[in-house]
Amino acid sequence: MSIAVSVVVPAYNASRTIEGCVQSLLRLSAQSPPHEIIVVDNGSDDSTAEIVRNYPRITLMEERAVRGPSAARNAGARAATGDILAFTDADCVVTPDWLVLGVVPLADLGVCGVAGLIKGVEPKNEIQEWMNSRNILDARAALANAFRPYVQTANAFFRRTDFWKVNGFDVSLLCGEDCDLSWRIIEATGGRLALVTDALVYHDHRSSVRGLFRQSSKNARAAAYLAEKWGGVLPAKHWKTSVWEVLDLTRCGAHYAGVSITVKPRSERINAKLDFLHRLGRKHGMIASAWRTGQYSRW
């Protein structure tokens, strides 16, 4: 009997990107396993829901009671009927063989989750070009995490039974919910995570300086929230690492200042600025979440 898949896409004010996402899901290869596509509108006040309603093959749900992608994904997973849950995001475009390839490792009962690669879409400006060059959402780096590997929810596959064995995503976590879910599933099943490099999705990276800074800050906040939840299990951050990060930020800022006041190619000036803003955003996120959670060593 064939394995069925439920694709779950959380969406909040995604009118700019949701149509491209939905259309790519409807263009999945004919060799794909039987599947349903569930888009969960998380209380949008734009035209996200109206756009999705134009596609009868898509199941549109609403999750307004609890905000956040974790709550939306859990709502989609509750409605899912497939044996496997496949997650991507409203600002992603999947490749035709995404499902065909992504589910293959789960035939091995020793595998409890699968990650596919996440690349940037064709860049619309220099900021997206920089984000593509820095491989901001690197699945290989996530799977090489020093504590435990994890998969990023822009491109992730889990068995539905394993997902609910750990009660799905923790909606109380403001950041790092993908790490937390992966780690809990690994603990509960004793399984391992697999990478399928050809199960590709393309992510529409932030295209403004403000968006880049906020994304960098948000990604860096996860460490303190995870340390708060995982207590003494998560290895402590060494003070030398924090000092190195400050020195690296200072060095990067000095390089940006030097490039700005000398005659350098525009591309070099742009890259220096964005490198600095990325590091500044990350340090901002670390400090903000350390202060909020009381995990002061995580700054």
Per-residue pLDDT of the chain (299 residues; tens, 9 = 90+): 478 999 999 999 999 999 999 999 999 999 999 999 999 999 999 999 999 999 999 999 999 999 999 999 999 999 999 999 999 999 999 999 999 999 999 999 999 999 999 999 999 999 999 999 999 899 999 999 989 999 999 999 999 999 999 999 999 998 999 999 999 999 999 999 999 999 999 999 999 999 999 999 999 999 999 999 998 788 888 889 999 999 999 999 999 888 888 867 888 999 999 999 999 999 999 999 999 999 988 88
φ/ψ (deg, to 5) at 156: -145, 145
Indicate if 125 and 157 belong to the same structural domain: yes
Supply the CATH number for residue 159's domain.
3.90.550.10
Summarize the chain as % helix, strand, coil (round to 5).
50, 15, 35
Q: From residue 86, how far is each of 157, 196, 247, 261, 287 by CA, in Å?
A: 5, 13, 40, 49, 33
Q: What pLDDT, on a 0 to 100 scale, did the predictor assign at position 1?
A: 44
Structure tokens at 68: 């956040």
Task: Mark which of 203, 219, 235 sits at the end of a domain.
Answer: 203
Contacts of residue 263, Cβ cutoff 8 Å, sequence gap at least 6? none
Indicate if 235 and 262 belong to the same structural domain: yes
Task: Mark which of 203, 229, 251 sits at the end of a domain.
Answer: 203
- Which pTM value belongs to this model? 0.93
DSSP letter at 276 equals H
Residue 235: closest CA among 226, 243, 244? 226
